[in-house]
Chains A and B, each alone.
Chain A
Amino acid sequence: SQQGEEDPQALSIQEGENATMNCSYKTSINNLQWYRQNSGRGLVHLILIRSNEREKHSGRLRVTLDTSKKSSSLLITASRAADTASYFCATEAQKLVFGQGTRLTINP
């Protein structure tokens, strides 16, 4: 069964705005990862947050993890047209399981 579920399924915002995507999961995890996929391409790893971490930053990305609520969020600040892509969370317990993704569109 799918471990991570993302919300919203699709998000459309104006360039320069912040984009927030959420991921919920059902069982205990070792870590949670976020990946990005441009249309018709492979996934690219963005960031990993371990179960004992609450927040992590990488450039314009900010990831939070709340293990009590079994949820994570990915914030992209000051969005650019090039951020248009699908974003997937992946949770790892015994194996890595991907959610269904959020399709993000940045309008110029």
Chain B
Amino acid sequence: DGGITQSPKYLFRKEGQNVTLSCEQNLNHDAMYWYRQDPGQGLRLIYYSQIVNDFQKGDIAEGYSVSREKKESFPLTVTSAQKNPTAFYLCASGGSGANVLTFGAGSRLTVL
């Protein structure tokens, strides 16, 4: 089955630690995205990548980093510089043409 796999589904982190969220897709999509969702809120764009080895900051990139070494993979690192990292993180991918996104199931990060 084609789709997007995010892992882990739940993650707990101590303050001061970096954590990396995995996102893998087998849809052969060029574009991949990371969004953050806070309770009762919409999605805010963190980073996006339209092609391998290239990525751009979204609206709330501070405290986050990404890489796009392979078409299938777009991991997100939440660094210790992110002041309020507790949130639900969603990865998505999109093909060419109209920007219809396919989403993963999400990763919930809690900072203890």
The interface of chain A, by Cβ under 8 A from chain B, is 2, 31, 33, 35, 40-45, 48, 50, 88, 92, 95-101, 103
Number of A-B contacts (CB under 8 A): 51
Count of chain B residues near A, Cβ 8 A: 22
In the complex, how many angstroms separate the beta carbon of B64 from the nearest chain A beta carbon?
17
Q: Are B105 and A98 in contact (CB under 8 A)?
A: no
A45 near B100: Cβ-Cβ < 8 Å = yes
Q: Roughly how many angstroms separate A101 CA and B92 CA in the complex, as a whole number?
A: 18
| Complex interface bits, B101-112 against A, C-beta within 8 A gives 1, otherwise 0 | 111111010000
Q: Evaluate contact between A41 and B42: CB separation under 8 angstroms.
A: no
CB-CB under 8 A from B45, the residues of chain A are 95, 97
Pick the residue among B4, B42, B90, B100 that contacts A33 (CB under 8 A): B100
